[in-house]
Structure 1
Amino acid sequence: MLRNALEPWHLIVVVLVLVVVFGSKKLPDMARALGKSARILKSEAKAMKDDPAPASVQTPAAPAPASGAQNPITPTVVDSHR
């Protein structure tokens, strides 16, 4: 079914369509941008692979409120009947 799915004349048709759609002046810029993106992706993937992974993921504990300070989560009730 997929035998000989991509023949040389298929590539020629694709190139001709790209030239017609984007124009011959835009294609080198697009190829350059694609190459630059591929280099950045490759370097970032290598950097992620080289970085040591943390042994266990721990969430930092919330700091204790200072003495006399109110808990920022608990709302303060104001008595307005005075």
Structure 2
Amino acid sequence: MVLLEFLNMGGGEIMLILVVVLLLFGGKKLPELARGLGKGIREFKDASEGVKREIHRNINSVDEEKPAATNTEEQKAS
């Protein structure tokens, strides 16, 4: 929705683009194109979720190491 607002496209422009795509690729190729696009989007989402998980895992491991390092410093000072 935000993308359409960014591009300032209305319903007429979208319909025109859809008609041009239909004329270029034909009715038989459109489902294959949509399937490929869906798979690509799904893979991108999975990859981005993996990156997010890895970042959170690293942040949590750094947070867990800080108290342990503080405790050992306090024990050395005693």
TM range (shorter): 0.5 to 0.7
**Unpaired runs of at least 5, structure 1:** 56-82
| Structure 1 counterpart of 2:14 | 11
Distance in structure 2 (CA, Å) of the matches to 1:41 and 1:17: 27
Higher helix share: 2
Report which of the two structures shows the higher radius of gyration computed on alpha carbons.
1
**Unpaired runs of at least 5, structure 2:** 1-7, 63-78
* Equivalent position amino acid for 1:15 in 2: L
Give 4+ residue runs of structure 1 displaced > 6 Å after superposition: none
**Aligned pairs, how many?**
51
Q: Deviations over 1:3-60 (max 9, x none)?
A: xx422111111111001101111111101111111111111111111113497xxxxx
Q: Deviations over 1:50-72 (max 9, x none)?
A: 113497xxxxxxxxxxxxxxxxx
Report sequence identity in percent.
29
